[in-house]
Amino acid sequence: MKPLISSNNNFSWMFGALILLLLSNAVFNQLNFPHAQHIVNISLMLTIAVAVLSVNSDKRQWLNWKIGLSCVIATLMLGDSLLQGDSLVIYQLLSILIFLLFTLYLCWQQVMFSGKVDRNKIIGSICIYILLALIWAFGYLILEHLFPGSFSGLEDRSWQHNLGELLYYSLVTLTTLGYGEITPTQPMARFLAYAEAVTGVFYTTVLVASLIGMRLAHYEEKLKGNGTPKGK
C-alpha cells in the first residue's frame, strides 16, 4: 500500500499545516474566541505532528523527532493545564523555537541537496520561507517576554494571543513591506527586525540561484545520458 505521506508530497502536507496554523491564528483573534489560547496550542501541535511525519530522516533522527515532539506537546499542555501564571512560558517558547529550527534544517537539506527540482521542492521552498517567519515570530515572543515593551502595538496578553500579531509583523518584515502597526522600540528588537529583513532578501536570492543551478545541472546530466551534444 502506498504511504499517505511520501518524499513526493511531504511538503504539500507541511504547507497545508503551516497555512492552517496561520489561518487559525487570524480567525480566532478576529472573532475573539473565548478559548483561542487552547486552539492555538492545538494548531501548533498539529503542525508539529505533520512536520515530524513529513520531513525525511533516518531512524535515529526519527527517534529524536518523536522525543522532541513529546517534550513540546507536554510543555504546551502542562503550561496551560497544571501551572498558574506564566512559570513555563519561556520554556514553552524555547522548546518550540528549537523544534522549528531543527525542522528548518531538515527541510533545507531536502530541498537543496536531494534529487531534481520538482513541484514538491518548490512547495518545500515556500515552507522554508514560512518557517523562517515562524522562527522569528517566536524569537520576538521570547524577547517581548524577557523585555516587556520591546514592541509597540502589542497588548498585554498571553503569548498565544500575541503570536498572531507577531506572525503578521514577522511576515511583513521578512518581505520588507513594513506597514508600521507594530514597531520595535528597543535595540535587540530592532536588531532582530533588520536581521530578518536581510535574511528574507538573501533567502529569495539564494533560493532562485540554487534552484536554477540544480535545474541546469539536472538538464546537463540528462543530455549526457542521452548522448546529445551540449550545442544542440
Q: Which residue has the cell 535574511?
A: 199
State the sign of the Cα–Cα–Cα–Cα dihedral 137, 108, 203, 127: negative
Of 2, 5, 10, residue with least CA distance to 123:
10
Q: Tell which residue, 89, 93, 90, 3, has the closest CA to residue 53.
A: 3
pLDDT over 70 for what percent of the chain? 77
Q: Is the pLDDT confidence value at 231 over 60?
A: no
Residue 69 pLDDT grade (very low, low, confident, very high; cuts 50, 70, 90): low
Q: What is the CATH number that goes with domain 10-226?
A: 1.10.287.70
Instruction: Give pLDDT tens digits for 156-205.
Output: 888 888 898 999 999 999 988 878 789 999 999 999 999 999 999 998 88
93-130: pLDDT as tens digits = 888 888 888 889 888 888 887 767 788 888 999 999 99
pLDDT value of position 19: 92
Q: What is the pLDDT of residue 232?
A: 43
Other CB atoms within a 10 A radius of the CB of residue 121 amount to 18
